[in-house]
C-alpha cells in the first residue's frame, strides 16, 4: 500500500500530473515541468529586481541590482529543490542505481515526484542560462555576446548537469545518483547567494550598520558550511555513488557502461571544479579565526 503523500511531494506531483505533456521534438522526453519551472524562476528573478528597486531603494538598471535579483532566483530554486529532495530521500530507500519503475514501491507517487524534481532543476538551468548569462552578456551595439571566463564555466556546468539529469530520465535509472549530487551541490546555495547579495549591498552608498553586520555574519556561516559540505561531507557520498555505479552488478546492468563512466567523470569534475570556492571559503574561515573581518576577496567590511 502507498503511504500518505507528504505535502511538499503533493505540490510537485499535483502540478506535474496536471500539466499537458510537451516533448522534445522527435522524442518522447517530456519537458513540460522544466518549462513551467523556467517561467516561474524567471518571474521570481524579475519580480525580485522590481522589489529591490521599489521597496529597498536599490538603483535601477545597475549591476548590483541585477546580480542581487539573480541571487534571489537562485535562492528560491535551491530552497524549493532541497526541500523536495530531502522529502524524496526520506520517503524512498536510498539506491543510486535503481530503475525508476522499481521505485514505485511502496509509494506509487514517488517516480513522478522524482521526475518533477529533476525537471525542476533542469528548468533552473534553462532559466539561468538564458536570463542570467546570455541575456546579460548580449551587447546590442556590437551584436555579440560579451562572455568572460566565469561565464564559460557556468555554461559548461549547466550543460553537463542538465545532461546528467536528462540522461537519467531517458534511461529510466540512476535518479538517486543525480538527486544526491543535486542535494549536496545546492544545500549551501541559499547561503552562498545571500553572501553574493551582501557583496553587492556593500557597493551601495547606504550600505552600513545593519547591512554590513548581516553580510559579515552570513559570510562566515556560508564559508564554514560550504567548506564542510564540499570537503568533508560530499566526497564520501560521491565515492559511494562511484562504487555502486561502476563496481556493482546492479549499477553496471542498469546504467550503460559508457554513460556510467561519463556520469562519474561529471561527478568528480564538478566536485574538483569547486576548488576555487573551497579555497575562498577556507581563507574566509581562517581570517575569522585569526580575528580579521572580511567578506572574501571581492570586498571587505
Overall residue count recorded for the chain in this entry: 301
Task: Report residue 298's pLDDT band, with 50, 70 and 90 as the boundaries.
Answer: very low
Separation of alpha carbons 205 and 185, rounded Å: 34
* Grid cell for residue 264: 562519474
Q: Is the pTM of this model over 0.85?
A: yes
The SS3 call for residue 24 is: coil
Of the chain, the percentage scoring pLDDT greater than 70 comes to: 89
At residue 293, the pLDDT reads 56
Task: Report residue 301's pLDDT band, with 50, 70 and 90 as the boundaries.
Answer: very low
At residue 297, the pLDDT reads 42
Cis check: omega of the bond before 106, within 30 degrees of 0:
yes
Separation of alpha carbons 30 and 170, rounded Å: 10
Which pLDDT tens digit goes with each residue over 113-130? 999 999 999 999 999 988
- Does residue 61 or residue 193 have the better pLDDT? 193
Which pLDDT tens digit goes with each residue over 137-157? 766 666 676 767 677 777 888
- Does residue 1 or residue 69 have the better pLDDT? 69
Task: Report residue 209's pLDDT band, with 50, 70 and 90 as the boundaries.
Answer: low
Q: Which of left, alpha, beta for 5 (phi over 0: left; psi -120 to 50: alpha)? A: beta
180 pLDDT above the threshold of 70: yes
Task: Report residue 132's pLDDT band, with 50, 70 and 90 as the boundaries.
Answer: confident
Which pLDDT tens digit goes with each residue over 227-278? 999 999 999 999 999 999 999 999 999 999 999 999 999 999 999 989 999 9
At residue 269, the pLDDT reads 93
105 pLDDT above the threshold of 50: yes
At residue 296, the pLDDT reads 43
At residue 13, the pLDDT reads 97
Phi first, then psi: give them for residue 93, nearest 5 degrees. Answer: -60, 140
What is the pLDDT of the chain when averaged over all its residues?
90
At residue 198, the pLDDT reads 87
Separation of alpha carbons 241 and 235, rounded Å: 10
Mean pLDDT of 180-209: 86
Separation of alpha carbons 1 and 11, rounded Å: 21
The SS3 call for residue 274 is: coil
Mean pLDDT of 67-85: 96
Find residue 139's DSSP bridge partners: 144
Task: Report residue 300's pLDDT band, with 50, 70 and 90 as the boundaries.
Answer: very low
Domain boundaries defined on the chain? 7-289
Amino acid at each position: 500500500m502507498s503511504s500518505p503523500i507528504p505535502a511538499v511531494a503533493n505540490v510537485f506531483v499535483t502540478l506535474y500530473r496536471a500539466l499537458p505533456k510537451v516533448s522534445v521534438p522527435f522524442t518522447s522526453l517530456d519537458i513540460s515541468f522544466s518549462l513551467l519551472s523556467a517561467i516561474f524562476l524567471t518571474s521570481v528573478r524579475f519580480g525580485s529586481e522590481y522589489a529591490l528597486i521599489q521597496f529597498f531603494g536599490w538603483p535601477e538598471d545597475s549591476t548590483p541590482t541585477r546580480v542581487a535579483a539573480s541571487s534571489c532566483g537562485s535562492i528560491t530554486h535551491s530552497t524549493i529543490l532541497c526541500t523536495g529532495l530531502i522529502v524524496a530521500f526520506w520517503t524512498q530507500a536510498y539506491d543510486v542505481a535503481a530503475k525508476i519503475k522499481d521505485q514505485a514501491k511502496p509509494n506509487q507517487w514517488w517516480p513522478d515526484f522524482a521526475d518533477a524534481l529533476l525537471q525542476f532543476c533542469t528548468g533552473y538551468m534553462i532559466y539561468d542560462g538564458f536570463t542570467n548569462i546570455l541575456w546579460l552578456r548580449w551587447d546590442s551595439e556590437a551584436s555579440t555576446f560579451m562572455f568572460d571566463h566565469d561565464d564559460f564555466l557556468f555554461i559548461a556546468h549547466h550543460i553537463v548537469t542538465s545532461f546528467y539529469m536528462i540522461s537519467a530520465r531517458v534511461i529510466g535509472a540512476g535518479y538517486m545518483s543525480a538527486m544526491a549530487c543535486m542535494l549536496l551541490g545546492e544545500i549551501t546555495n541559499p547561503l552562498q547567494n545571500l553572501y553574493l547579495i551582501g557583496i553587492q549591498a556593500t557597493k551601495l552608498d547606504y550600505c552600513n550598520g545593519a547591512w554590513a553586520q548581516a553580510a559579515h555574519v552570513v559570510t562566515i556561516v556560508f564559508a564554514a558550511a560550504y567548506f564542510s559540505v564540499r570537503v568533508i561531507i560530499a566526497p564520501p557520498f560521491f565515492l559511494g555513488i562511484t562504487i555502486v555505479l561502476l563496481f556493482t552488478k546492479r549499477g553496471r546492468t542498469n546504467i550503460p557502461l559508457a554513460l556510467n563512466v561519463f556520469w562519474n567523470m561529471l561527478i568528480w569534475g564538478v566536485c574538483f571544479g569547486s576548488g576555487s570556492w573551497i579555497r575562498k571559503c577556507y581563507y574566509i574561515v581562517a581570517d575569522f579565526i585569526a580575528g580579521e573581518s572580511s567578506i572574501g576577496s571581492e570586498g571587505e567590511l
